[in-house]
Amino acid sequence: MAVLEIIQPGNPVLRKKAIRVMSFDNKLQKLVDDMVETLLDAPGVGLAAPQVEVSQRLIVVRLPDDEESREEYGKEAGKLYVVANPEIVKSSKAMVEGTEACLSIPGFYGTVDRHESVTVKGLDREGKPIRIKAKGWLARVFQHEIDHLDGQLYIDIAKEIWRARPEDEEETIAE
């Protein structure tokens, strides 16, 4: 496994619509492993393949697994999601404002409205169908990462963007 370079907005791959994953071969398995290692090294809670300069519809998501996170997120804390060709098939009408950051845009935060809950369907790393019902922060992370697959960054939809201050670093983990 390897830690991959996370690209920034100057790289055109971040703005392209990613192509569907068609093959679940050893090359894809290595990419998944490398993306997970990169996510944990960053550290972040979500990573889309375009962020590591691979224009494929693939995301990895993992909420923190510390004691506080286990209390707040329960069984979702520390659970790893690998989703190829993810699609949001259902979303709540209720919207929630929240703070987001991005591994591809270090040093900045933004206020973004997202659906409070979503249902995501896709394929796991072996190509088997999966369906995930997510709410709260997990739903926000899935929406943020799926946006990456369509070439959209949170700064495109943020109501407000600001430069990180030292106290912000303790409050938010990058997505």
Q: Interior CA angle at 118 toward 117 and 121, to 5°?
A: 160
Q: What is d(CA 134, CA 116) in angstroms, rounded to the nearest whole number? A: 9
Burial class of residue 111, CB neighbours in 10 A (0-12, 13-18, 19+): middle
If residue 2 lies in a helix (H) or strand (E), which one and from where to where?
none
Task: Read off the amino acid at residue 170.
Answer: E
Exactly one of 67, 71, 72, 145 is catalytic; which is it?
A: 145
Nearest to 7 by CA among 150, 152, 104: 104
Residue 145 appears among annotated catalytic residues: yes
CB atoms within 10 A of CB 121: 15
Q: Which residues are catalytic?
A: 145
